[in-house]
Structure 1
Amino acid sequence: MFRQVLINPEDRRYQLIIWRSSPNSTIRYYQLNTITYGTRAAPYLATRCLQKIASENKVNYPLGAQILCDNFYVDDELGGSDSLITAIEAQRQLIHILKKHQFYLRKWSSNHPQLLKNISQDDQEVNLDFTNDNNESIKTLGLFWLPKADLFGIKVKMVTEGIITKRVVSSDLARLFDPLGLLAPVIVKAKIFIQHLWQLKLSWDEPLPTDLRTTWSTFRENLSNLENLQVARHIFRGEVPSSTQLHIFADASEKAFGAAVYVRAILKDGRIILRLLCAKSRVAPLKKQTLPRLELCAAVLAVELSARVKSDLQEKDQPVFLWTDSEIVLSSINSQSLSFQTFVANRVARIQTLTLFEQWRHVRSKDNPANVLSRGLSARALSTCALWFQGPFFLHGRQEVWPPRFSSSLQVPVDLEKKKVVAVATQCNDADFIYRIQHKNSFKKLQKIVAYVLKFTNNARKSKESRATHIVLSANELDAALITIICHIQGNDFHEEIKQLKKQGHVDKSSSISSLSPFTDNANVLKVGGRLEASSLPYDSKHPMLIPYNDPLAKLLFVMFHEENKHCGPQALLSTVRQRFWPIKGKSTARATVQRCIRCNKARP
């Protein structure tokens, strides 16, 4: 397939083969003109070409174009139809479309002789003679298919090993290819066994202990029973149902959890068919979890598997029922996810997003086929397990005989999964509100937010005619916001000193700022006094505003000055800040600001 797709001439220089027949020969460079197998982009480019062909022919050849879009996996196609006439027409269109673009279909196989009638023997996968009872098998996408009987078969090929190690066990498990999960109860036992080997911390080539070696040898010997197992490819055995339903069962044990999907169909003559469609299993995490939590994980797996199956089947209006034997899970799904602890809340929210509570039903453990999946089953027992392949008995009857809907009278134990609600009474301090503003670690953003708040409050006190209509903040408005922020910072750290100044005109000598001769101005801002009163300096330089040490907003103020002054050093930063502010322990704060600056650290030689 890849060699049928040409590469753009401008891109062919990236696909070179350098060759010479002998060391003395001249080196030759060959450009590959087509897609090359083994390159990372090859599968995508080939698939994209098929999609492009489908989009160009979907009007004239709708059946063939739809098969190109939906049923191809790289260069393999699996498709079918409920009608032989439709299947023959789809085959004709598909051959015509691809042949027109130099793609020639080969390795044909079918469960009906009419579809192979016009296909040459060289283009068929195997020589199928429908007049005899021989059942030839073919392998497609890892699955063994018996075309004449239209059955999936299982072939297990285990290589005999002298010493059983963790590497051998992992290799054996990899040979059990089961994309649909039909053998999930058997494979989950192998997964649990390998997880146990990891817990023992055995090396890859270390021989297993005697008891584990015996267990795995027995498991391998029983796998031969799977070769007698055959599963119908077409769930309804050629029948066309009048209506279908999806039933997903979930269950968990202390070692594994999983979900199984069943299709329930009502045929035109009233008969009911229930068959296993697919399944998925996972081993329980090594970190110990409670059984209700594992049951919840199984429910999440069930809803995700349900969404995937509905998407693949392209049945939007198909009824879906989900079953679990855990009443705790059902009660959790019927509650608000925010009331649970994080682990449970996230999974309940996921379930509530993908499903409705009305879709969930309760089933007894003995009627739950996922119970087989979570605990595992031997290969010998799987071949005769009717519950696994045909589902619970009650689904074969009318809907009136199903288990009744779950009653939400059972509540999840609060001490296990519900969040503990603690009521705390606090007294709000107006001076603290400035610290609750979401400023994103930016003093400028904080200043603008406060400025807009002040602007709104000022306009609210005025009549409509005298209100300010401009949106852009003025310099005076930003300065008023700065003074408001400083007043709140000072009120938080110098509360006692401000109270003393208002009461007695000076601070006590025991105060840490008494040597600065502090006073409050008309705006109630705490400032530094002293002998600079008689100097010709600007007022803000003579009486800078006091800033406490180790205040988070004071640190943001230092960061702002540091960035505005081109990431200056500690001395220049402190000098710039002191032009209007007097920070307590300013040298330490300036030094810490520069040391925490990521850009300065990267630029430092």
Structure 2
Amino acid sequence: MFLQILMRETDKHSQRILWREVPTRDPDIYLADVATFGSTCSPASAQFVKNKNAREHSGQFPRAAEGILQSTYVDDYLDSFGSEEEACRVSNEVRQIFRNGGFQLRNWISNNQKVLEHLGETQSSSSKSIISTVNNTERILGMLWDPLTDNLSFKTQMSGEVQSLLESGKRPTKRQVLRCVMTLFDPLGILSTFLIHGKILMQDLWRAGTGWDEDVGDIQYEDWSRWIKMISFITNIRISRCYFPEASTQTYKEAELHVFVDASLFALYLRTTNADGSPQCTLVAAKAKVAPLKPMTIPKLDLQGCLLGTRMVKFVLTSHSIPIKRRVLWTDNSVALAWIRADPRNYRPFVANRVGEIQETTSVDEWRWVPSEYNPADEATKWGSGPYFNDDSRWFNGPEFLRSPEDEWPSFMDQMLDTTEEMRPSILFHTTWEPMIAYERFSKWEKLLRSMAYVMRFSNNAGRTSQKRGGRITQQEFEAAEVEIVKQVQREAYADEVSTLKANQMLPADKRQSIERSSKIYQLMPMMDERGLMRQNSRIAAAKHLHYSVRFPLILPRDHRYTELLVAKYHRMYRHANSETVVNEIRQLYVIPKLRTVVRHIGRNCQFCKIRKALPTVPPMAPLPFARLAADHRPFSYVGVDYFGPLLVKQGRSNVKRWIALFTCLTVRAVHLEVAHSLTTASCISCIRRFVCRRGSPVEFFSDNATNFHGAERIHRENINHGLAASFTSSNTKWPFIPPGAPHMGGAWERPVRSVKIAMGDSYKEGKLNDEELPYSKPFPFGKLEWNKAIQQSTTRHFMRHLVQHTASA
């Protein structure tokens, strides 16, 4: 099949073959022109070409094209027909479609000799090319088919190791048991009543913790011995390939699909009616599944069986060519049947999810009850000696009542009289309070109270009363409205507690019940007053001079909208101020769990407080300039310079002013100080020249907009523009200034100025220095701020080179 599919030119390179005949030369490169065996894409490509070829001929040969698309398994064509004429015609068309695509169908096998003769095949010659077995049977998808009798059977001949184990009677291991169970291939589930016991045996071995190469236990060995004795019965099973060999095409138009489910197995039966009106039934498919290791009730297991049966019905209907007129699903568990017929939302998730899926696939009217003794799916739960493997057993032919009229089938009412698993009805009363007021629509407690007062006035005026009220709302109406609102809130939040306290009012003291200990307000010792309001019982009940509401405060829930409105009212009343004041005032009349949390929540959501406490957003700091991050440059490559002073210096009997020029490295923050005798440009240039001789010429100077700095920068720029040598620094040095109105941008040198001022102020308290002592004195410990050994080592070579150049130019 693969060799008939030509590869595209671009895809041939994926199948390159290197071939070397002589070791001394390079190998030859061959490209495979067709799909090859072993290539991962060859099966998919072959199926695509086969289906595409069939669709191209669907207009000319519709029945043959449909058969190729639906009845082809890899390279085998498997189909059934109602008559010899149809079989011959469709077979020729199928062969012609395949021949047009380059495929040649051969080795035809049929249960009709005339069809084989028409196709040019004989039964004997065809059998030689197929894997033959005993009794002239052929392999069809793992099962054995006898074309002469048109029956299906099973191969029970095991492998040599397993067969010797069965004949020897030795105790097997867990691995050998699994090998024997998996040897029997049953795609239709016909042997489900037998194979399910092998699967149960494997589950018992897992539960017992038996190792793969350990011998099974005594109990499992008894089940194993009983199970292998039944293998001999499987050899004699013969199942007709055709559902009803003597039926006509008209018979299948009245076909019904009956599904019998049980806790461990379900079986599907096809029921038809002959021309004389007599029903007949046969097995279509079955499936068995082992119950999970986790313990589960019988109704839930039966519900699992109902779900598997529903899924199997859906699969059979989508893959079956026989039209099904009616579906009937049978179960012997009344509880599972009642679940299926009920609303799934009334049950817990396990039952609700499975019932929901069952109701999506099937109709409730399609489910019926069957007694266990009539349920063929119940065979899987019983160890038998082989009677249900007979061709006439109810497992293969369905229960006897399916061959009777429908009015004689079991009914659910009969089951209700005889069942031992009755559904006992239970009545559950659950009281819920629906909110009368949409609290979310109100933004203030006062508006809510006023609206409730108007509603109660309208209700009172609409009733049969002679006192009609109008005008403004009175204080009594406000109080009545507040009482009614609190009642509604307590009923919504504490329905069980309110019901218990109301019932206690009608009972004597010795028969009253206390609220549940799991209640959120159990520790508050709630009580109910004469107006139906739930209050906290307190220790100050004897203080008659206090108001009743103070001695017995009302209980309110913390997560209710009414509580938020009430707390917000007190929050506004005390001018959005101290939260503790709000807490104290509320506790005079109300008990609210975690009140401080509620008060803080109201304060955070108050728009007035948000505006009052709002702070301007601090803008993000700008990225640092390169001068602050030049770690790969020597110190004092990027320098900030500033003046501070004046300092009073003794000169004879008078005092003169001196200033300090501070140079700081913007990268390592080292500080260099020079004495300036005046604020002139010449004095500034002298300070810079001394700094450069000591520290080297910087790349950039940064400073504020002082006139002496501008003068020094101007002289430096003019010398460079006229081609003259720089007077006090390198010609490559730049001197940017900070903006005039932004002194904060000079913080890099303003902060060291403050540190130097503080240190000098503490050091010069004893007396003043003169001009000779000031430059060489060390009045403050500036080792870390000024320079360290590493800075001296890194700048010595540059300083000496610059000093030589400066001396030469001078």
Task: Compute the TM-score of the two structures, normalised by the length of structure 1.
Answer: 0.69
Measured after TM superposition, the shift of residue 57 of structure 1 is: 0.8
Structure 2: give runs of 5+ residues left out of the alignment: 444-558, 584-595, 621-810
Give, in angstroms, the shift of residue 271 of structure 1.
3.2
Is the CA contact (8 Å cut-off) linking 2:2 and 2:36 kept in structure 1?
Answer: yes
Contact map agreement 1:186 1:378 (CA 8 A) in 2: no
Matches within 5 A, 1:345-384: 345-375=352-382, 377=384, 379=386, 381-383=388-390
Corresponding residue of 2:349 = 342
The alignment status of 1:203 with 2:204, answered yes or no, reads no
Q: Which has the higher contact order (CA 8 A, sep 6+)?
A: 1
1:507 is aligned to 2:508: no
Are residues 6 and 428 of structure 1, via their aligned partners in 2, closer, same or farther at CA, if it must alter by over 3 Å? farther
Q: Describe the shift of the 1:168–1:336 C-alpha distance in structure 2 as closer, same or farther (beyond 3 A).
A: same
Q: Deviations over 1:152-191 (max 9, x none)?
A: 0121122224762221111111111000111110000101
SS at match of 2:281: strand
Match of 2:262 in 1: 251
Distance 1:317 1:298, change over 3 A: same
Residues 2, 46 of structure 1: 8 Å contact kept: yes
User: Corresponding residue for 2:185?
Assistant: 177
Spell out, residue by residue over 1:358-404, the C-alpha distance to the aligned partner (whole angstroms, 9 max, x if none): 11111111110000134464556523661101111111122222223
> Does the 8 A contact of 2:144 with 2:153 survive in 1?
yes
Match of 1:274 among 278, 281, 288: 281
Query: In the alignment, does 2:145 pair up with 1:63?
Result: no
Partner of 2:607: 525
User: Matches of 1:9 and 1:419 in 2, distance apart?
Assistant: 76
SS at match of 1:206: coil
Which shows bigger deviation, 153-162 or 76-85?
A: 153-162
CA deviation after TM superposition for structure 1 residue 37, in Å: 3.3
Aligned to 1:125: 126
What is residue 325 of structure 1 aligned with on the other side? 332
Q: Which amino acid aligns with 1:499?
A: Y
Question: Which one of 275, 297, 306 corresponds to residue 290 of structure 1?
Answer: 297
Specify the code of the residue in structure 2 equivalent to 1:200. Answer: A
Q: 8 Å contact 2:282–2:396 — kept in the other structure? A: yes
Question: 1:191: which partner in 2?
Answer: 199
Residues 105 and 123 in structure 1, CA contact (< 8 A), matched pair in contact too = no
**Partner deviation per Cα, 1:425-468 (whole Å, 9 max, x = no partner):** 7798846999xxxxxxxxxxxxxxxxxxxxxxxxxxxxxxxxxx
Q: Which moved more, 1:115-124 or 1:361-370?
A: 115-124
Q: Structure 2 CA distance, aligned partners of 1:493 and 1:367? A: 66
Which stretches in structure 1 are left out of the alignment for 5+ residues?
129-133, 435-487, 529-539, 547-560, 566-605
Q: Identify which of 214, 220, 229 aligns with 2:228.
A: 220
Question: Which residue matches 2:614?
Answer: 544
Aligned residue identity for 1:247: H
Asked if the contact 2:439/2:561 (under 8 Å) is kept, the reply is no
Contact 1:321–1:361 (Cα < 8 Å) also in 2: yes
- CA 1:387–1:377: 2 relative to 1, 3 Å: same
Inter-partner Cα distance in structure 2 for 1:77 and 1:505: 87
CA distance in 2, matches of 1:269, 1:233: 23
Letter in 1 for 2:364: F
- Once residues 20 and 329 of structure 1 are traced to their aligned partners in structure 2, the CA distance between those partners, rounded to angstroms, is 72
Q: Distance in 1 between matches of 2:313 and 2:174?
A: 34
C-alpha change, 1:24 and 1:228, in structure 2 (3 Å) is farther
Residue 295 of structure 2 aligns with an amino acid whose one-letter code is: K
Residue equivalent to 2:239: 231
CA–CA separation in structure 2 for the residues paired with 1:66 and 1:10: 32
Instruction: For residue 9 of structure 1, give the secondary structure of its aligned residue in structure 2.
Output: coil
The correspondence for 1:165, drawn from 173, 180, 190, is 173
- Root mean square deviation of aligned Cα: 3.9
- 2:5/2:46 contact within 8 Å kept: yes
Deviations 1:38-90 (Å, cap 9, x if unpaired)? 44433322222221112111111122112101111111121111111111100
Give, as a single letter, the amino acid of the residue that structure 1 aligns with 2:127. Answer: V
Give the Cα separation in 2 of the matches to 1:490 and 1:327: 47
Q: How does 1:19-168 map to 2 (within 5 A)?
A: 19-20=19-20, 26-117=26-117, 118-120=119-121, 124-126=125-127, 135-158=135-158, 159=162, 160-161=164-165, 164-168=172-176
Show the 5 A alignment for 1:438-449.
none
Conserved 8 A contact 1:362-1:405: yes
Q: Give yes or no for contact 1:337–1:349 (8 Å, CA) kept in 2.
A: yes
- Counterpart residue number, 1:587: none
- Aligned-partner SS, 1:275: strand
Q: In 1, are the aligned partners of 2:35 and 2:42 still within 8 Å (CA)?
A: yes
CA distance in 1, matches of 2:364, 2:27: 71
Q: Distance in 2 between matches of 1:84 and 1:233?
A: 17
Q: 1:215 to 1:315 in 2, by over 3 A?
A: closer
Equivalent-residue separation in structure 2 for 1:366 and 1:317 (angstroms): 27
Q: Provide the residue aligned with 1:550 in structure 2.
A: none
CA contact (8 A) 1:185 1:377 kept: no
The CA distance in 2 between the partners of 1:432 and 1:164, in whole Å, is: 76
Q: Which structure 2 residues correspond to residues 413-452 of structure 1 after superposition, within 5 A?
A: 423=432, 430=439
> CA 1:425–1:319 in 2, change beyond 3 Å: closer, same or farther?
closer
TM value normalised by structure 2: 0.52
Deviation of 1:202 (Å): 1.8
Distance in 2 (alpha carbons) for counterparts of 1:494 and 1:425: 20
Query: Shift of residue 261 of structure 1?
Result: 0.6
Percent of pairs with identical residues: 27
| Structure 1 residues 21 and 427: CA distance shift in structure 2, 3 A | farther
Letter aligned with residue 578 of structure 2: V
Residues 109-137 of structure 1, C-alpha deviation per residue, up to 9 Å, x if partnerless?
Answer: 10000111032459953169xxxxx9511
